[in-house]
Structure formats: C-alpha cells, structure tokens
Amino acid sequence: MRVEGRGLVDRTQPVSFKFDGRTVTGLKGDTIASALMAKGVRLMGRSFKYHRPRGVLTAGSEEPNALMEVGTGAAMTPNTRATVQEIYDGLVAQSQNRWGPLDRDLLSINDLLWPFLGAGFYYKTFMWPRSFWEKLYEPVIRRAAGLGRITRAASPERHEKAFAFCDLLVIGAGPAGLMAALTAAKAGADVILVEETPEVGGRLLSDSQDIDGTPAAYWVEDVLKELQASGRVRVMTRTTITGVYDDGSYGALERVGRHVAPRPDLPPECFWRIRAKQAVLAAGAHERPIAFPMNDRPGILMAGAVRTYLNRYGVAPGRNVTVFATNDDAHRTAVELMDAGVKVAAVIDSRPDATAQGDYRLIRGAEVIGTKGRQALTQVTYRAGSRTDTLITDCLAMSGGWNPAVHLTCHLGARPVWDAGRAMFLPAPGAVPGLTPAGACNGAMSTADCLREGHEAAKAALKALGLRAPRGVKLPEADTEAGRAATLWAVPGKGRAWLDFANDVTTKDVKLAAQEGFTSVEHMKRYTTQGMAPDQGKNSNIGALAVLADATGRGIPETGTTTYRPPFAPVTLGAMGAFAEGHGFAPERKTTSHAALVARGAPMITAGLWYRPSYIPAPGETTWREACDREVRMVRTAVGVVDVSTLGKIDIKGPDAGAFLDFLYTNSFSTLKVGRARYGLMLREDGHVMDDGTTARLAEDHFVMTTTTAAAGQVMQHLDFVAQCLRPDLDVRFISVTEQWAQFSVAGPLSRELLNGILDAPIDDAGFPFMACGPVKVHGVQARLFRISFSGEHAYEIAVPARHGDALYRELVARAEALGGGAYGMEALNVLRVEKGFITHSEIHGRVTAYDIGMQRMLSPKKDFIGKAAAARPGLLEPDRERLVGLKPVEMDGRLTAGARLFTPDDPHKRQYDQGYVTSVAYSPTLGHMIGLGFLRHGPERTGHHVQLVDHVRGVRTLCEVCEPVFFDPEGGRARG
C-alpha cells in the first residue's frame, strides 16, 4: 500500500518490529499505524463493550481505536496510540482488549447481545439476585472490563522531570505556531515552540499546498532553519502540552526515548513544568466524524487522516477510496488521492449544491446509510433522495467538519463559546490569562488566516512583554479559501451509528439517556460513558452533545459541553511522578541524632517525612516490647533522652506578634510574660481542631511556636494565609526554623541533675519553674531551654544550633546512662503520652472539636480567634457527640487495638449501634496492663461504665471500662515538682 513519490519517511532505512507476534517491516519515520497499513493490515484492535473490530480512525493523538500494548514484561505500556508510536528495530506491540487472537476474539459474542447491552445496562441487569453480585457479576465484569492491562511488577523505566522558563510559549508548530514563533524570535523574545509530532509543520505536511509559490514543506524547512539560527527558540518536538495551570504554568510530556530502542542512558519520557510569561495556542483542530449506520468498520477513517497517511507516510489506506463529505475541505482528499494514482470510487456529499474540485464522481445531496465488511470495509450503501445504491470500496474517508482544539483554554474553568455560523465551539475570550489562541483552534480554517492570526497573536504577546514587534515581517502568500461547509451530525437509518468508537457509545445510547432523564450533558456522559476513553472524547463529544440537544429539543449552546480537564493526552504515571519512587518517593528528613541512633541499632520509622527511632535495643533484648517497657520505666524512675527536633518550630517577631497569636490560638498569648511558655490550641475556620503545641515568649516582640511533627507544614501555610488575607493589618513576620535548631527532651526525676552537668550556669526550681523558657549556654554554645513535658515527668527541652546537635545528643545520652537512664524512642514516647492522656494527631485527626477533647474552656470568651463562631454551632456542642475518654480492659490481660469500634455491651456489633472508636493504645509497664484513648458518645458521663471493644479486622473482642483520659499522675505533680 506504499505510494511512490509520497511521504516523509526514509525509504532507505527499513525497520523491523513485531505486532501480535508477527514480524512486520516498515520504514524509518513510520508509526505503528502507518507501517501496518502499508502492509495492508486493517484490523488493529477491539472496542470496549461489544469487542467489535476496529481499525485506525485518525492520524494523531486523538485516536480512539488503534490502542496497543507496547513493550514487554514490566516495561509494557498499555493504551499506546498506534498513530503516535514511532517504530524502531525490536519494538514489540500487541493488540489489546481481546480474548484469544485478534481476528477471532471470543468476547466478540457481545456484539450479538447488543440489544441487551445498551447505555446503563449494568445498572439495570445486575440488581437481582443480590447475592450474585460479589460471587458472579462483579468478578465477570472486572475480568472483562478495562482497556489494556497493567503489569504488577515495578517498571524498570526511569522517567525524568525538568523545568523550563520562557517569554513566550507557542503550543503547536503548524502555520499559526511557526509564524508566531518566528515573529517573537525576531523581536528578541525567548521562545519555546512545542509540537507533539516528530516534525514541525502541522497540516502543512499533511496537505499538498503551496506557500509563497513553493510546496509548503519547503517553507516549513526554511522557517525551522531561521528559528534555530536565531538562538532565541527552543524547538521541542514529540512534546505535548498536557495541562494549563495558574500563573502561566504548563505541564508538558516529552517522548524522549519512546521512538528508539530502550537505552539505559535515555529516559522514555520527560515531564516538563514550563513557566511562560505569555503563550500562543496554535493547537489546530480535530476533524469531526459523522454518525451514520455502521460507521465503525476497519477501513473507515477521517478524510484528513487519509491525506496525512498519504503525504507524511506515503501510504494509501485503501485501493478504491470513497469520500463522505459535508464540506469542501474533504474534497482535497479525493484530489490528492487521484494525483497519487489511487482510485477514488466517488465523493458522496450531503450538500445538494456541492461542487467537484477534480475529475471524480460526485454524488450530491447524498448520505451514507450503511456499510459491509466484518473485519475490513468492503461496501458502502448511500441514499440520494429516494434512491439508494451501493459502492464497492475498501476505504471510506469521512468528514463532518472540524472542531477547534479548545481543550487547553478550558483547563482553568472557562467554557468554550458556540459559533452557530461556523458550527463550532471557539475559545472564550480571556479564558486563560496570558494565552492567545490563533489559527484553526481559534476557528481560522484557511492557511492564510492561520498565518495572519499567528503573527497577530505574537504581536499581542510581545506588547504584553514590553517588547516592540519586529518590522518587516512579511506574511507569506497562501491559500485564502477555507471552503464551504454544512452541518451533519447523524444520519438516520437502520443499524447502530457510533459516536464514541472506543467505548461503543451510539446515537441510540445518547437518546436513551435523554429519555431516561439524563438530560444534562454531564449526566449523559456518565450514564453512557461517552468521552471517557483514553481519547477523552476528542472525536465524539461535540457530536454527542449535538445528538443530545436534538433529543431534548434544545440548542447546542443551551446543552453545553462537558468539563475539559488535564491531561490533554494520556500521560504515564511514571512520567508524572518522575523521581518519586524508591528513596525518591518522598524527601528523607533525618535528625542530627540519626547517625548515633543507627549506630546503636535503632530501627528507624517514618514520622511524616522524618526518620525517627522506634526503640533503642539493649544487649539481650529480643523484642520491641522489651526495649519499650525498659525505656518507659527508665524515664519514670531515672532520666531519658529523645530527639524532638522534628516538631515544627516557627520564629515569630514584630510589634503585633502577640495579637497575631491571639487571633491564631483559642487562648491568649499577648498576656504571656517574657521567659514563659504556654500550651495553645489552634482551630480551623470550621471550628475543628487543627493543631496544638506550646509557644514561648523570648522577648516582648519575639515568640517561638512549636507545632506537631505531622502538621508543621500545614500550620506554616495557615500562618501565611492569616497574615496575608485575614490580618494584613498586623505588623508581624515569621519563618520556619525547624531545621535550624536541634532540640532534645530530657525527661525524668533526674533530668535537672543531668542538665546541670552540661549547662554553664546551673538551674533550680525557683529560677526555672514549670513552663519557663530562656537562653542558656552549653559548654559556651548559646542554646534555648524550655521546661515543658510530653511525658508527665519533670522534663526539659534543650535546643542548640543544628550543627551542634550530634555532639549534644551523644553527650546527653552518655550522661543519662551514667545516671541509670539512656535514650528512648517513639514507642516509649507514645506510651508515656498515652499514660498522661496527651493528644496527638491520632486524636486531633481533623474531625474533632475542642469540646470533643475536653478543652472547651480554652476557647476564650474575651477575644476573637479563627474558628470561634463555627465552634459555637449547636451541632458541635451536643452532649451525645463522641468525646475523648480513657479505656482499660476489665480483665487485665485484655487486648486493645487502635481503630477498633466501641459498642454498648448488650448491643449487636453493627454500624447502626456504633458508639465510638479507639484512637491510641499502648501497654503501660507503669500500670501493668493495656490502656487506650478513644471517642465515645456521652463519653465523660459514662466514666466507670463498660463498653465492648470490637475489631472485626483483627478478630478482637474486649470488654473495657471507661475511665478518665489521664491514667498516671492526674494532679501533674511530677511535671511541676
């Protein structure tokens, strides 16, 4: 099927690849689709629901039919568009969505059952008997569903991510894009020109036309050389802009190594984040199919795609081609095929006044009403007035007009605007700040108009950039005629007419959706799955909403469009998450004590992004419980040291710092004395608890806020929002200093004795009481000391500049061991805090209020604070809310588990009888049994009552006594003494 003298492929370089196990030879520059068509292969896939035979429909990224699995083993990528994937030696491709061989797919039996498998059939068919759903229906549906397969093994491919910045981003390198890039480059702007195909030129490479009296391909080549010589333009081919985001941010996927054999030094793809001051959208348009009966057979293509295969790849999709057109542009396909020596059976034009552009048979005022050929087209039937007739043909090139590619202009929420005169949606003015549409995506359908709009768009961008438009840029002479067009969405007739080829959605499905009340275009989309395949409805959405408009008696503008969302084209998760795997999955944050802890054999666990020790094993200990129990007893009887550097630390300064904190916290901080610290509670605007922690006042205008490890980033963002949006009147500045200070808790009866061994000036109770803070010196190094406790013991936290953290930790642990204590880890820290009833984000998980945790008295009635009004809503103060309680087993050996549900002992263990849940549990070596914290309806009023703890997952049933949350030293004498 190769056509001599046509195409941009290299005929001197054959390329061998495999398709469904058979070796196929193509040419360098071929895609899988063009190479297979060159060998006469029509059947390339199966449709989703009916498993109907499918061939190529388009020539670009909008392809819905020819989807393939490319690669082998763990490196296999499903849903690869054969129209985009370039071939290379050793490429392995397989057709997908089939059971058995492609030409004998066992699931093609679904096509015989089509009357029972209409839109929404699964909602109606699988309701009864109810017990069949999990055992029969769901397993069968899951096995049959899905487009393509994913591998269970981790992919060996390593993608990349990159960042780029420019004055002007030009999206699309067709005539409009090239003209825009050339104009901007001559003005001295830094330009990035992005094109998703391997070559620049767009439709200029797909159509035989002249620019400035020479073939358009020569003009493209000259412009490309000029752009490259300017030194101002980065040309990025094989790159698709996938999404538009705020402030001139664009996502882009570059196929770096997808077109060559895999190499360890070459990533398959690179995901770019591009920041552009201005942008020109020159994304072109997608040709519109016509929904006529049986319009889905292999061999039925878009008319523009036929020209692309002819002129770019030198391939004729058929030997005897018929064209079904509603516009003059499609007649070019017939003319160019005949010029290439390919037979044209006829041009069937729905317009009674259509005019032939060449010496071919023209059938005016006619419509295709049927086709034949199971796995390849063999015949079409058309109707002209009252007469019907047939044509023997192996390829039907159809064209219902063009839909501008407006998708990127809608990614920030704008909706396209319907132009009734041209029967197309156009970009809304100002849809994306800083982005100017030009060319076919803006409704310009002639080459001359595209060139002019590209030039004008660049001038507008240059003006916004403060650059002067270049003088003497001459617009080249080109075709000025866009041609006439008529509108034809669907042809009535016997048989199914497809709209969404991948998901098997027909005009009948859309009409059924309207009939059953799904008249909103968004509801129709979900009911029928229209536009939900990998092509995201690029071929079908406009036609489907036109059919819906007709079925509901509305106009197309009133019917509206579905929501366009990123990505514009499919993006592998590996590319989008480049470097975010293995150790790169998340940043690894390590404390200054990390090396010392690892050397002691401490197993490290993650707390947020930080690595912290679970426990520090001693010789002879074989389980974590042994180590944990020892560490708890050590803190309670002697002294323990733990690294708390991971707690968020925010330095706050300014004359209004106290007022700022008053607004953030539920309690007052402006009254706090210098040299003192206070516990604070912070609410969200909805009245629920966000975080808690201590804040110390180091000077009149200087505070240090401490947050939990889990919420450090969230609280910092919250402070930024409050300062910039809610209280910009306050003179205050703040910065996170979490990494600048290494901070260690020294807890236990001997904690002051330990510290006095390293402080330059000793401290005592009178000079440094509970909740005091201030500067100290450790061996001459300036430090900060806070007398606060998260263990309930006499305790301090000492902070030094991070560069001294390792040395200080080692000395603190050595001195603690000399006093009969030592280092302790997260497990012991958790036991100590549960014994004292202290909360963490296990309790303040986002759904609790100050009332729920028994801290309603901290809500100051004397001042305003964030969340005050919302926290007073009646629903948040009801006595039957789930409120914080302590739990202990009635039988001392009883087991408690976090996440378990609580029930009244006599009630069934079912959802409707649920009374609460458990948030934290621990074995207390101090008390000799397990203890826990949880939330229980009427919690405080049920102290002394019994509840049943039920963990369905772990099979645990334990009768518990409800008690106060503070299990140990409820008066707090140990911490204050």
Give the whole-angstrom CA distance, residue 873 versus residue 687.
Answer: 9
- What number of other Cβ atoms are within 10 A of residue 433's Cβ? 12
- What number of other Cβ atoms are within 10 A of residue 15's Cβ? 20
SS3 percent helix, strand, coil of the chain, rounded to 5, is 25, 30, 45
Tokens of 258: 């997808």
Percent of the chain's residues with pLDDT above 70? 98
| Residue the block writes with tokens 């309701």 | 127
What are the pLDDT digits (tens) for 85-120? 999 999 999 999 888 999 998 888 877 777 767 776
What are the pLDDT digits (tens) for 46-93? 998 889 999 999 999 999 999 999 999 989 999 999 999 999 999 999
Question: Which strands sit side by side in the sheet containing 795-801, from one edge to the other?
Answer: 773-778, 781-786, 795-801, 741-747, 640-643, 822-823
Is the per-residue pLDDT at 170 higher than 70? yes
Query: Torsion angle of alpha carbons 727, 730, 732, 735, nearest 10°?
Result: 10
CATH number of this structure's domain 305-395: 3.50.50.60
CA atoms within 13 A on the CB side of 426: 17
| Residue the block writes with tokens 């360098």 | 28
Tokens of 719: 């402070």
Is the per-residue pLDDT at 739 higher than 90? yes
**Alpha helices (H) along 466-588:** 507-515, 521-528, 541-552, 556-559, 573-576
Looking at per-residue pLDDT, the higher value among 156 and 600 belongs to 600
> pLDDT grade, residue 854 (50/70/90)?
very high
Contact between 394 and 320 (Cβ < 8 Å): yes
* Intrachain domains 305-395 and 833-976 with the same fold: no
1-148: CATH class = alpha beta
Residue type, 287: E
CA atoms within 13 A on the CB side of 229: 7
Is the per-residue pLDDT at 453 higher than 90? yes
Per-residue DSSP letters for 612-651?
Answer: EES----TT--SHHHHHHHHHHHHHHS-EEEE-TTSEEEE
Q: What is the pLDDT of residue 587?
A: 83
Give the whole-angstrom CA distance, residue 348 versus residue 971.
Answer: 93
- What number of other Cβ atoms are within 10 A of residue 859's Cβ? 19
Tokens of 961: 């006594």
Looking at per-residue pLDDT, the higher value among 698 and 495 belongs to 698
Give the whole-angstrom CA distance, residue 499 versus residue 510.
Answer: 9
Average pLDDT over residues 724-752: 97
Q: What is the pLDDT of residue 532?
A: 85
Distances in whole angstroms, Cα of residue 696 to Cα of each of 660, 677, 703, 704, 906:
14, 4, 6, 5, 49
Q: Nearest 5 degrees, angle CA 369-CA 372-CA 374?
A: 135
Contact between 394 and 375 (Cβ < 8 Å): no
Contact between 371 and 348 (Cβ < 8 Å): no
Contact between 443 and 480 (Cβ < 8 Å): no
- For 382, the 3-state DSSP assignment is strand
Domain 833-976 = CATH 3.30.1360.120: yes
Segments making up each domain of the chain, as ranges: 1-148, 160-285+404-465, 305-395, 833-976
Residue type, 489: W
pTM over 0.85? The answer is no
Compute CA 449 distance to the chain's CA centroid, rounded to the nearest angstrom: 37
Tell me: cis bond preceding 293? Omega within 30 of 0 counts: no
Instruction: Tell me the β-bridge partners of 746.
Output: 641, 796
Give the whole-angstrom CA distance, residue 681 versus residue 678.
Answer: 10
What are the pLDDT digits (tens) for 751-764? 999 999 999 999 99
Query: Torsion angle of alpha carbons 257, 262, 263, 267, nearest 10°?
Result: 40
Compute CA 597 distance to the chain's CA centroid, rounded to the nearest angstrom: 37
Contact between 701 and 654 (Cβ < 8 Å): yes
> pLDDT grade, residue 977 (50/70/90)?
confident
Q: What is the pLDDT of residue 448?
A: 96
Query: What does the buried/exposed string (b/e) look like for 924-948 if buried means 16 or more CB atoms within 10 Å of the residue's CB?
Result: bbbeebbbbbbbbbbbeebeebebb
Give the whole-angstrom CA distance, residue 673 versus residue 670.
Answer: 8
Per-residue DSSP letters for 230-254?
Answer: HSSEEEE-SEEEEEEEGGGEEEEEE
Per-residue DSSP letters for 7-48?
Answer: -SSEEEEEEEEEETTEEEEEEET-BHHHHHHHTT----EE-S
Residue type, 249: S
CATH topology of domain 160-285+404-465: FAD/NAD(P)-binding domain (3.50.50)
First to last CA, the chain: 93
Is the per-residue pLDDT at 492 higher than 90? yes
Per-residue DSSP letters for 143-187?
Answer: HH-SSS---SSPP----EEEEEEEEEEEE--SHHHHHHHHHHHHT
- What number of other Cβ atoms are within 10 A of residue 566's Cβ? 16
Give the whole-angstrom CA distance, residue 123 versus residue 66.
Answer: 29
What are the pLDDT digits (tens) for 187-216? 999 999 999 999 999 999 999 999 999 999
Lowest mean pLDDT, pick from 307-316, 479-488, 726-735: 479-488
Which run of H or E residues covers position 976?
Answer: helix 973-976
Is the per-residue pLDDT at 126 higher than 70? no
Q: What is the pLDDT of residue 122?
A: 66
What are the pLDDT digits (tens) for 535-545? 888 999 999 99
Average pLDDT of the chain to the nearest whole number: 94
Q: What secondary structure letter does DSSP report for 803?
A: G
